[in-house]
Structure 1
Amino acid sequence: MSERSVHGVDVGPETRCAHYHTDRDVVAFRLACCDRYYPCYRCHEAVADHDAVPWPRARFDEPSVLCGVCETELTGPEYLESEYACPSCDASFNPGCGAHADRYFET
């Protein structure tokens, strides 16, 4: 099991951060390099001392996305197929995160 705390810059209780803080910025992504959740790639760049490594395809059956509203952990495929809403609590996720999917998930 991963550590469920979320690391980054000015991370709030629902995983919003200094870089992304709209009502829909409520997910955190687990990165393979350090097995920690971050609200965004920019937070990882700011606080980690190494390059980010996206979640590997071989581990897509393991949770790698955290809903900041209900704390449900999702696999990458569950998140990518969720149509930008948590399947557990229906919180809306920011569709703009899709533009950075390659930073979070191995393609």
Structure 2
Amino acid sequence: MKVVKGRVIDTETRCVHYSTVVDVVAIQFACCHDFYPCYKCHDEAVEHVRTQWSKTAFEQQAIMCGVCKELLTIHQYLNADQCPHCYVAFNPNCSLHNHLYFDC
């Protein structure tokens, strides 16, 4: 299992910023390759500039389901509304922040 950094509040990768039942993903950031629950956790914890994953890296396993801990490719995550392994629902509002993580 990958270590999830940031202000995590439970074992399913929820954080102080996003803590609803569907907030169950951690994202590996392209800039540092560390997993965080959200961009706010990342930005609070580091002093470097956050960068996006390029489209050429969308087959990279950079998303972790907080429930089953399986890794998903960026492409899988962007095209799913639930984990393909354990079927837990993902927060549909996360798509509002995709541009912060991925070159969409």
Compute the TM-score of the two structures, normalised by the length of structure 2: 0.94
In 2, the alpha carbon distance for the partners of 1:8 and 1:30 equals 12
Q: Could you say which residue in structure 2 is the equivalent of 1:45?
A: 43
Q: Could you say which residue in structure 2 is the equivalent of 1:102?
A: 99
In 2, the alpha carbon distance for the partners of 1:67 and 1:55 equals 18
Give 1:4 shift. 1.5
In 1, the alpha carbon distance for the partners of 2:9 and 2:42 equals 12
Q: Could you say which residue in structure 1 is the equivalent of 2:6?
A: 8
Compute the TM-score of the two structures, normalised by the length of structure 1: 0.91
Are the structure 2 counterparts of residues 11 and 53 from structure 1 closer, same or farther at C-alpha, using a change threshold of 3 Å?
Answer: farther
> Higher strand share goes to which structure?
1
Unaligned runs of 5+ in 1: none
In 2, the alpha carbon distance for the partners of 1:32 and 1:77 equals 15
In 1, the alpha carbon distance for the partners of 2:2 and 2:13 equals 11
Counterpart selection for 1:26 from 24, 29, 36? 24
Unaligned runs of 5+ in 2: none
